[in-house]
């Protein structure tokens, strides 16, 4: 999922640049900006997935900022400095490594567009963009570590871990022993009835029903082991 979001971010940057460089589309920059803002409010109204809405809103913010910068001169845009704040926003709102990807793509685009007539202001802007990237990444990592040290990130992890521990304890101490006891008792009854079927009249339908219940209990007992293993694997992944 993380790689998919990085890919989507890269596609957004390239798509906005291609839009502003298209002679048939760049005259609709204002309309596209309005459409993106409308799309943002529509997504907030209809979407119930908070995390996806947050990611989508960040992508819209990135699109609007890049649309303004690309359409007002790109590397020599009077609002080029906004890209520095945008990199900090990407590092904080999405992920530090995605800020590095965005910076690499932007530098590549600006060099591709202006490599034949680079001027001193352009070089300064490029260097500022390159130098601000590690600062944004370091700031984002430090901020996230501070949140984690304050317990604002680990609270949810600990709560999930506690529930997983409780589930494992219940499976190991209650569910599996109880199922094993019932299954053993039912198996003894089925064996006894099969043995005594010659000496006493045992309804065949009853015997088949008991065997069906026995099979279901065996399946249920097996599934508790599978569930236990699944919870343990999930717990191990969280610790990593």
Residues 176 and 204 placed together within one structural domain of the fold: yes
Phi, psi of 62 (to 5 degrees): -60, -45
d(CA 212, CA 207): 9
Phi, psi of 49 (to 5 degrees): -85, 105
Helix (H, G, I), strand (E, B) or coil at 35: helix
Residues 99 and 179 placed together within one structural domain of the fold: no
Residues 119 and 99 placed together within one structural domain of the fold: yes
d(CA 97, CA 99): 5
pLDDT at 25: 83
pLDDT at 107: 92
Residues 189 and 141 placed together within one structural domain of the fold: no
Residue 153 exposed, middle or buried by CB count within 10 Å (0-12, 13-18, 19+): middle
Last residue of a domain, one of 149, 168, 193: 149
> Tokens standing for 45?
């109204």
Cα dihedral 113, 119, 121, 127 in deg (nearest 10):
70
Residues 9 and 110 placed together within one structural domain of the fold: yes
Which residues constitute the domain of residue 97? 2-149
Residues 132 and 200 placed together within one structural domain of the fold: no
The three-state (H, E, C) secondary structure of 139-201, written as one string? HHHHHHHHHHHCCCCHHHHHHHHHHHHHHHHHHHHHHHHHHHHHHHHHHHHHHHHHHHCCCCC
pLDDT at 223: 66
Residues 43 and 116 placed together within one structural domain of the fold: yes
Helix (H, G, I), strand (E, B) or coil at 116: coil
Task: Tell me the C-alpha to C-alpha distance, in Å, between residue 154 and each of 2, 12, 141.
Answer: 20, 32, 15
Last residue of a domain, one of 149, 175, 196: 149
Number of structural domains found in the chain: 2
pLDDT at 196: 63
d(CA 139, CA 129): 15
pLDDT at 79: 87
Q: Which residues of the chain have pLDDT under 50?
A: 153, 155-156, 159, 238, 240
pLDDT at 11: 92
Residues 178 and 100 placed together within one structural domain of the fold: no
pLDDT digits (tens, 9 = 90+) for 149-200: 655 545 445 545 555 555 555 556 655 666 667 667 667 676 766 666 555 5
Residues 124 and 176 placed together within one structural domain of the fold: no
């Amino acid at each position: 999922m993380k790689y998919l979001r990085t890919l989507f971010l890269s596609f957004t940057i390239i798509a906005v640049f291609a839009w502003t460089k298209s002679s048939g589309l760049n005259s609709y920059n204002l309309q596209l900006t309005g459409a993106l803002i409308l799309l943002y409010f529509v997504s907030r109204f209809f979407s119930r997935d908070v995390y996806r809405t947050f990611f989508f809103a960040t992508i819209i913010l990135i699109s609007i900022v890049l649309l303004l910068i690309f359409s007002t001169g790109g590397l020599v845009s009077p609002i080029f400095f906004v890209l520095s704040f945008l990199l900090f926003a990407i590092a904080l709102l999405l992920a530090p490594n995605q800020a590095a990807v965005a910076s690499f793509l932007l530098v590549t685009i600006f060099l591709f567009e202006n490599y034949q007539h680079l001027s001193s202001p352009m070089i300064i802007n490029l260097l500022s963009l390159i130098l601000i990237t590690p600062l944004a990444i370091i700031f984002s990592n430090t901020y996230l570590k501070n949140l984690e040290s304050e317990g604002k990130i680990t609270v949810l992890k600990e709560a999930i871990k506690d529930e997983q521990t409780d589930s494992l304890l219940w499976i190991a101490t209650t569910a599996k022993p109880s199922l094993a006891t019932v299954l053993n008792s039912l198996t003894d009854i089925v064996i006894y009835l099969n043995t005594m079927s010659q000496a006493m009249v045992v309804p065949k339908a009853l015997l088949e029903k008991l065997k069906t219940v026995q099979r279901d209990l065996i399946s249920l007992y097996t599934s508790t082991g599978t569930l236990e293993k699944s919870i343990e694997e999930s717990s191990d992944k969280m610790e990593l």
